[in-house]
Amino acid sequence: MGDLKAGVARVDVTPPVGIPLGGFAGRVGPSQGVHDPLYAKALALSDGDQTAILIVADILSVPRDLVEGVRASIQKIAGVDKGDVMVAATHTHSGPETIGIRAGPDDPYISAYMKVLERYLVGVAYVAWRNMAEARIGGSRGNAVIGFNRRKREDPIDSEVGVIRIDDVEGNPRAAVINYACHPVVLGGENLFVSADYPGYVNTVLERVKGPVFTPMFTNGAAGNINPLSSVGYSCPGTFRDAEQLGSIIAGEALKTLEQTETSGEAKIQTSSVIHYLSMEEPPIAEAERYVRDAQQRVAELKERGAELNKIAQHEAVLEYYERNLSLLREEKAKKTKVPLEVQVFRIGDIALVAVPGEMFVEIGLEIKAQSGLKNTFVIGYANGYVGYIPTLKAFEEGGYEPTRTWWNRATPEAGRIIKASSLEQLEAMRTMVNKP
């Protein structure tokens, strides 16, 4: 086992004003300003034999083709294998549209931004890799509540604040990975200002306390059915003050946990990645057509009774979203689509990171943590692609918003089971390798 080395880097990835914001179908108009900057950050780790790179960006999601492009470039310039690179989004709903729900790749703002973003992600990873120096690492867990289960209030949440501390060789804190499961939707669809939402405040508070040489990286967890306490059910009427308050709560707990975390300069690094394929059924054309008809009827009713123009505009935006969904489903009707579902695992000593390409329900994440065999197991959602919501079988049976199949909501009922089984199998294989004489 070699001595641990680590490197961190960050880059501003704030998009230009005027770019469409992602995350809310009823949002009216493009961005009108920047409230707080968006960043991409990278952590590179090496034990002398194995390298692992984690990249996290303050965006809605990372499309699969973006991830593949980033990995290919990093392999070319740094020699790091593609499966050793994890790319994740914080899932802010006040960042640029990145997966084509409200605007597709033909949108001039989106296409230009995505090309530049890919180069930024490659660059920040390369700088972190080049900056690697002797380091120490440790993991620990705190506890805080800033969210609720939006399907049923009495259903579970994950209140764990995961912390990975990275020190320099003298024991001074230089970086931290924070992990928490909650939708960054404090700022609702009416907000038209670019913002990292509450995760941005988590990072900002930690930076203020620990100083400019410290780099915090927020990662989201299995947050598919978890909304912040500022929400009312699925409605998100929160303010920037709410985002600051909730982010500060997580930052405070992370800071306390960070100070109690012991680090070591010895940690074996293991990486693993398995790509499964979800066989898609016939695209739900009839259901998508019904969404369009219902939205058209709603807009017509609002116009007929002379509703407020802003109210009409919101529903016209929803109609446009459903029309786009229907158009895309019709385009692929003849295709036999198989959707890649990558389950990636990093193990660093007694720390495990399980990366999932979508919005996995918290119940599945809790099961993975409970059965992983490692006390510091953190699920990183919105990573290495995007298949939409990943509900439990129970949720699929109950129906509702998250299990509804659309062009972008690709997970089938077996997806959660596949992810749980795959992640646990990979962790067991790693454990076996560590224990080999």
DSSP one-letter string for 256-282 = HHHHT---BSB--EEEEEEEEEEEP-S
Same domain, 225 and 308: no
**pLDDT over 90 percentage in the chain:** 81
Q: What is the average pLDDT across 60-80?
A: 97
Is the model's pLDDT at 287 over the cut of 70?
yes
Query: E strand or H helix at 164, and its extent?
Result: strand 160-168
In the listed set 266, 298, 333, which residue is the last one of a domain according to the structure?
333
What local confidence, expressed as pLDDT, does residue 408 receive? 79
Angle in degrees, 0-180, between the axes of helices 108-130 and 64-78, rounded to the nearest 10: 40
What local confidence, expressed as pLDDT, does residue 1 receive? 42
Is the model's pLDDT at 2 over the cut of 50?
no
Domain count, the chain: 2
| pLDDT tens by residue, 88-109 | 999 999 999 998 766 655 688 8
Same domain, 310 and 385: no
Same domain, 118 and 258: yes
Same domain, 286 and 430: no
In the listed set 333, 352, 368, which residue is the last one of a domain according to the structure?
333
What local confidence, expressed as pLDDT, does residue 308 receive? 92
What local confidence, expressed as pLDDT, does residue 61 receive? 96
Is the model's pLDDT at 241 over the cut of 80?
yes
Same domain, 163 and 302: no
Same domain, 210 and 267: yes
Same domain, 289 and 412: no
Same domain, 315 and 417: no
Q: What are the start-end ranges of the E strands in 181-245?
A: 193-194, 215-220, 226-228
| pLDDT tens by residue, 127-164 | 999 999 999 999 999 999 999 999 999 999 999 999 99
Same domain, 221 and 248: yes
What local confidence, expressed as pLDDT, does residue 105 receive? 56
In the listed set 333, 359, 375, which residue is the last one of a domain according to the structure?
333
Q: What is the average pLDDT across 23-44?
A: 95
Residue 67 neighbours by CB under 8 Å, 6+ apart: 87, 384, 385
Same domain, 392 and 419: yes
Same domain, 296 and 421: no
Query: Beta 51-57 vs 85-89: how paired, if at all?
Result: parallel
Q: Per 3-state DSSP, what percentage of the chain is helix, strand, and coil (rounded to 5)?
A: 35, 25, 40
User: Are 145 and 246 a contacting pair, CB within 8 Å?
Assistant: no
Secondary structure of residue 245 in the 3-state scheme: helix
- pTM metric for this prediction: 0.94
Is the model's pLDDT at 209 over the cut of 50?
yes
What local confidence, expressed as pLDDT, does residue 278 receive? 87
Burial 60-72 (b: 16+ CB within 10 A, else e): bbbbbebbbbbbe
Cα separation of 103 and 95, whole Å?
Answer: 13
| pLDDT tens by residue, 366-407 | 999 999 999 999 999 999 999 999 999 999 999 999 998 787
What local confidence, expressed as pLDDT, does residue 34 receive? 98
- List C-alpha distances in Å: 99 to 12, 30, 104, 110, 198: 20, 16, 7, 10, 21
Same domain, 346 and 288: no
| pLDDT tens by residue, 352-362 | 999 999 999 99
Count helices and strands in the chain by DSSP H and E runs: 9, 18
Is the model's pLDDT at 333 over the cut of 80?
no
Is the model's pLDDT at 334 over the cut of 60?
no
Q: Which domain holds residue 419?
A: 5-274+339-434
